[in-house]
Each structure stands twice: as C-alpha cells, then as structure tokens.
Amino acid sequence: MELEILFELAVIMVSAAVLGTLFLFLRQPIVIAYIAIGFALGPGGLGLIKETTHLEQIAHVGVILLLFLIGLNLQPQKLLAIFQKTALLTLSTSLLFALAATTFALLLQFSLFASLIVGAAMMFSSTVVGLKLVPTTTLHHKRTGEVMTGVLLLQDLLAILIILLLSGGGSEHPIMAFGLLLLKFIALAIALFLGVRWIMLPLLTRFDVVQEYTFVATLGWCLLGAEVAHLVGLSYEIGAFTAGISIASSPVALAIAEHLKPLREFFLILFFFAIGARLNLQISPLLLAAAIIFGTLLVPLKAFIFRKAFVWSGEKESASKELSVRLSQASEFSLLVVLAATSGDWLHYEQGMMIQIATLITFIFSTYWTVLRYPTPISASRHLLQD
C-alpha cells in the first residue's frame, strides 16, 4: 500500500508521544518508552507493524547524524591524542568482556565457536545509547565526552572487523584485514579533508547567509561520507563521523549542529523503536532466563572493569566512575554480529535471539543507572537534566 509507511510513522509517533508522556510523569527514561512501543507494536507483540526492515534502514539515519554531529565538534589533533590514550584500554577491556561472555555461553553448553561469537557480540558498548545520554556540553567540551568518543569509535573499528570475518569478507589473516581497514579509513579521511578544503569551505563561505543551502550542503556531505565509507567496507557511522571532523573547522559548524538536532532526534526515535520490534520472547525458557541473567550481570561487570581500567590509565576516580556507568551496556553492533553469524549458519536462531534480548536488557539497565545518577538530556530530575 502506497501510504503504508505514513501509517506506520503515524502509529509510531503517536504511540511514542502517549507512552513518552506517561514515562515522563513517572520520571522514567523516555528512551525506554520508545523501545517498549517497538516491542508492543512489532511482530513479537501485537503485530500491528509486521515488517520492520524498512524502518530499521530509515532509523539508521539517526545514528549517522549522531556521529556526524559529534565529529562536527572535534578537532583532528585532539581526536588523535584521545585515540593514543584509549587504544590499549579499549583493546584490553574488550578482550575481558569477550572472555566473560564466552565463558557464560560455554556454561550453557554452546559449541566453542558459537560461544566465541557470543563473546564477540557482547564485548563492545553502545555508541548510540552511550552518546545519546551525554549532554552536548559534556560531549563536545569536556574530557568525559572526548574519552567516551575515543573508546566507542575504536570499538566500532573492531566490531566492523569481526562482522567482516563472520560474513566471509575477511578471508585474509585478521591482522592484515585490520591493517586494510585502517588504510581504508586513512584514505577516506584524506579524501574528505581535501574535499572540504577545496570544495565545501569555499562554498559555505560564499553562501553561508543562505541557511537552507548550508543545511542541505552539510547534510549531503554527511551522507556522502557515510555512503563512501560503506562502499569501501567501513561503516556508515565511521564515514559520517569522519565527514563531521573534516568540516569541524568551518565557522558555521556549530550552527549546522543546532539545525540538525531535531532531525537526529526524529530518526533516533525510530532507531529505538526498531530495537524493541526485533524482540521475540518465544524462545526456549532456558535461553530466555539465561538472557535475562546475563544481561543483568553484564552491566555491573562491565562497569567494574571499565572503572578499574580508567583509573589505571590515569583518569580521576570520579570521572572513571561516570565513564564506567555510561559505557556499561552492550552494543547495537551485537545485533549486526548476530545477523552475520546466523546468515552464515554459525549461530542458531534462538541463540541469536538470546544475545539480542541480553543486549536490550543491558540497554535498559544501563540507561536507568545513568539517568538516575548523572546528567543526561532525558533526565526527569531537573538538577540532572542537561542538553
């Protein structure tokens, strides 16, 4: 039906507004309302929206815009310094999380290879949930936001490598495959920076008084960077982030970020809806219980390990504690790892669903912990509400 997508968007937005209002009255995180609506209306609930693939593709634009806006507020020199400081920490903590998840899967009598996939799926933190809950001032102008960005982006690179290997795109030795990814990333960054210097900046300088043109040109640059990155084997998110950094030196960068915020929020609502709509609780009771237990235990475990690692790396105790809570969830990349593993028959459907349920539980648990303890743009408490 031609208007089916309009009907679906209307149902999603009206339902999100109604349940979101209830959540705010109850002083609950509104992001959880979007996920709950997705589960209630999706195939695993009432089935009012039976197919969510197209909505997931649309929702991905919100993630792309989020990373683009982060890049708009980061200078390249500062980013490189952050990467140097967080590289060892990111790699070591990711390996520890993978070991814990693999051990848990082995206790459930998964095969060794399936257990390793569970470990790979649960070793990262969520770029979207983590950065969505950071106030703009903290994200762009404070060390907490900068360190979080460095850790999450390095994790994204590792996640892409794992997905390539599972989907058959990484037939080379893993070290060679990772080296190739880095070379592609460097080539993409050079191309985008040259494009900004010789094309975008002259155009924005000449026509910056026309706000519509500035909006369209920068949005086009964001999506161009995302698509080129995808075509060369990187992720849309990394392409958008690099495009944002490349244009950060423009005097209109901050104004662009303000214009794109409402658009980002619209697509992120669809993103969280799509996460909820993915769920199917009709799996083995043992695996369902395992998902709940593992998701609940993983959040404090990740927080503890991250806290120790940040203190060891030289961060202050208070900053380490906050960073550990904000990074304590699993990642949306786990859903992509599951998709690649099930498509290649490396993982059974119910095993993959167990990972997805556990991931969602970490989203909910971590979100509540963060919203109740630290400043976020969605806090119900006035003294913690910061955008």
Supply the pTM of this predicted model: 0.77
pLDDT at 94: 92
Question: In degrees to the nearest 10, what's the CA dihedral of 24, 26, 30, 32?
Answer: -170
Residues 179-195: pLDDT tens digits? 777 788 889 989 999 99
Instruction: Label residue 144 by pLDDT band (50, 70, 90).
Output: confident
- pLDDT tens for each residue of 156-179: 778 777 776 665 554 456 567 667
DSSP summary character for residue 385: B
Cβ atoms of residues 324 and 307 within 8 Å: yes
- Tell me the average pLDDT of the chain: 82
Domains of the chain: 26-378 (1.20.1530.20)
**279: number of CA atoms within 13 Å, CB side?**
21
- Express each pLDDT in 230-244 by its tens digit: 898 877 878 888 888
Structure tokens at 4: 């089916």
What string of H, E and C letters represents the secondary structure of 217-252? HHHHHHHHHHHHHHHCCCCHHHHHHHHHHHCCCCCC
Contact 325, 300 (CB under 8 A): no
Question: By the 8 A CB rule, do 214 and 201 touch?
Answer: no
- Residues contacting 287, CB < 8 A, separation 6+: 108, 350, 351, 353, 354
CA distance 42 to 50: 6
